[in-house]
Structure 1
């Protein structure tokens, strides 16, 4: 699951812009990484004036993005650099092109520390994960003994 937290000044994004940005983020993972849509979660956190400080100074023009990757991890340094470049392109109309300061980082969580609806997600690109993607929801199944 990619889980995004976007810390931004209050009223930085309208409800429509939040939906557009969430759809752009979701498309990254569905089109490029091939995960089910429902794996992608985006949480907007509105930050009141003078609550974000950068370098010890209040910055009411700053957007901070924290991302957790679980469903897919790793890749080569080149693949990660390309993915970060694609992310920057998707974010640009909502952040960079509006003259905002921003920062983003991605953490990777081990797969064995993830459950959805109490279920162990199926292996990447397996028939069961493809069914989950088609149905856009987790479906109970028998986990193979290891």
Structure 2
């Protein structure tokens, strides 16, 4: 499961259509490499400026001498946490390709809006992942293809998910 959490000031991502468009482009990206769309979770978590500090300075906050040295404190700061469970990136080349895709995907929603931003990607242990109490099928299996086709999480026979003898 790709999980994307956007921690952002309340004055950003205020338009539901913008959030929906960002969630769609992220979901489309993962679906284009065969992941079931239902794996992709995108959360928008507004954080009040008095609870959002970057370098000891609330963001956003007035650009005053007390907030220097440092970047323009009036600019909103977006922190993004990305977790990958379904498929680890197998190589440095693949990881770099993902980072380029993430940068290009996020640019119109964040950089082009004049926000400062940061993200990190964590690859979680697939063996510690379940959806609706079900261990997800392995990559490329009949069960995963069915999940991708129907966009639904449904029980399957272990052999159809590449899990025979692994549960």
Q: Work out the CA distance in 2 between the residues paired with 1:57 and 1:86.
A: 30
Aligned to 2:132: 117
Extract unaligned runs of 5+ from structure 1. none
Q: Distance in 1 between matches of 2:11 and 2:20?
A: 14
3-state DSSP of counterpart to 1:50: helix
The answer to whether the Cα contact below 8 Å between 2:8 and 2:46 also exists between their aligned partners in 1 is yes
Matching of residue 77 in structure 1 with residue 78 in structure 2: no
| DSSP-derived class of the 1:138 partner | coil
Q: Scaled by the length of structure 2, what TM-score is found?
A: 0.84
Partner of 2:23: 22
CA contact (8 A) 1:28 1:87 kept: no
Residue 37 (structure 1) aligns with: 37
Q: Calculate the TM-score normalised by the size of structure 1.
A: 0.95
Check whether the contact 2:5–2:43 (CA below 8 A) recurs between aligned residues: yes
Secondary structure at 1:65 match in 2? strand
**Structure 2 stretches lacking a partner, 5+ long:** 61-75, 159-163
Greater relative contact order structure (CA < 8 Å, 6+ sep):
1
- Write the deviation string for residues 68-126 of structure 1: whole angstroms up to 9, x where unpaired: 10001022111111110111101001100011000000111111100001111011111
Query: Aligned partners of 1:139, 1:98: CA distance in 2, in Å?
Result: 40
Structure with a larger share of its residues in strand: 1
Which protein has the larger Cα radius of gyration, Structure 1 or Structure 2?
2
